[in-house]
Amino acid sequence: QRDGHAIHEFFDGALVQRWEVSLADAVHAMSLLSADLARQHCQNSAASEPDIHPWAILAAAGHDVVILCPRSHGSHGTLYPRRWLPQAASEHATVALQMPSREHLWLLRSQTVANQAEKSAKVWLVREHLQSGHMDNFALPKDRSWAPGLCIRNSSLLLAAYHPRDKSPEIWHLETIDS
């Protein structure tokens, strides 16, 4: 299903479960949270047994960013919104997101800018400090086509781009200061 209201879980290439998304808006970007962050945000203190799912999803849906927690119901499952991240909400499209720690959230945002001469996209990185709500914005060069994704590994952020003038793909490696 490609309407953003269900997510399919696979293991070794085989479909394990279909998860319904309990949101009005469709999910258009997502990433997995680490087991530690999933436990922190999804643990149900009212449950008599611990949550058996060692994952959660960080999702962009509509203008919102939310943490979705899995709950199984026999042969089907539902992803429920557990924590809304209100400072991360924006009228601009969130095309990728990562939460490497409980302190920071990284977003890749895009805004289509149309003028009479050309149509282009303004793309920037946003780092939200989750405790204070402070946001740092980093504009990315406009002469690239940026892939809708980002990867965080250790203290590095990786982005992929295409340089139309040189007709070459690029990997951008950025050192982050929030590890």
Residue given tokens 């479909």 in the structure block? 15
Residue 93 — pLDDT band, cuts 50, 70, 90?
confident
pLDDT exceeds cutoff 70 at 115: no
Strand partners, 30: 59
The per-residue pLDDT for 120 is 59
The per-residue pLDDT for 56 is 92
SS3 26: coil
pLDDT exceeds cutoff 90 at 2: no
DSSP H helices in the chain: 35-42
Confirm if 99 and 105 have CB atoms less than 8 A apart: yes
Spatial distance between the Cα atoms of 122 and 109, rounded to a whole number of angstroms:
8
The per-residue pLDDT for 48 is 45
Q: Which residues contact 15 (CB under 8 A, 6 or more apart)?
A: 8, 9
% pLDDT > 90, the chain:
19
Residue 114 — pLDDT band, cuts 50, 70, 90?
low
Element holding 37 (H helix, E strand)? helix 35-42
SS3 137: strand
Q: What is the pLDDT of residues 43-79, one digit of tens each?
A: 764 454 454 688 899 999 888 889 999 988 776 899 9
